[in-house]
Amino acid sequence: MGNEKTQPTLIDKDEYEKFKQFVADAHGHTHGHLKTEIENALREYRQSTGREKQLTRMENDIATMKKVLAEGNSDGGEDTLTLSHEDNTHTRESDKPASNQPRDKKVAYLITQLIDEFSVTRESGEIPKQQIKDTIKKHYNFRDDIAESYYDDIVTDLKAEEHPMHGKTVAWGERYSDIVDDLRDKADEEMTDL
């Protein structure tokens, strides 16, 4: 970004700490994101000229706030919003919710990614537990505790259960029923052989 130089301008310590917390809530941590978010905020402020343009942005931001407030909290425990960014330098997949969007949207997105990657369906499938965790980390660089809670949400949403024998995979729907039936059949065969 232009000149890589620290600016000597002092800003209010409380305001800076609030902004750092906003970035941590939005991204799970500040490392690698604080500089970018400060630059984005400055760029947006500089580019927000013209009353009509500003009014449209404000209306869009208010609509976004209402929607997010109605849908629930994001990962930081407080509502954080994705406000309008005309010239956002970050590119991302159009259907991928930003890291500061509501949790349920990100969980739904991650489930879609897992379904595509492992050729399973919402109704039935089996996926290694570690692969689910790797997919979460690949798409969202959350802290370990947040990533683990996303894993729990995905498993709950799919109504998945750990494999009853080895616990290395989770399965749901017809696939889980097949696993249980196979184990029962093997147990019945073993009982018959006695």
31 occurs within a structural domain: yes
Name beta bridge partners: 128: 169
79 occurs within a structural domain: no
62 occurs within a structural domain: yes
Same domain, 133 and 189: yes
Domain tally, the chain? 2
33-78 confidence digits (pLDDT tens): 888 888 878 777 776 655 556 677 777 778 777 766 665 545 644 3
How far is it between the farthest Cα atoms of the chain?
85
The CATH number given to whatever domain includes residue 125 is: 1.10.10
Q: Which domain holds residue 116?
A: 103-193
76 occurs within a structural domain: no
Query: What pTM value is reported for the model?
Result: 0.53
Same domain, 65 and 138: no
104-117 confidence digits (pLDDT tens): 999 999 999 999 99
Tokens at residue 141, please? 């660089």
Q: Which of 136, 137, 143 is nearest to 157 (CA)?
A: 136
- In degrees, rounded to 5, the angle at the alpha carbon of residue 109 between the alpha carbons of residues 140 and 126 is 100
Is residue 134 within a helix (H) or strand (E), and if so which, with residue range? helix 129-139
29 occurs within a structural domain: yes
96 occurs within a structural domain: no
Is residue 128 within a helix (H) or strand (E), and if so which, with residue range? strand 124-128
140-169 confidence digits (pLDDT tens): 888 889 899 999 999 999 999 999 999 999
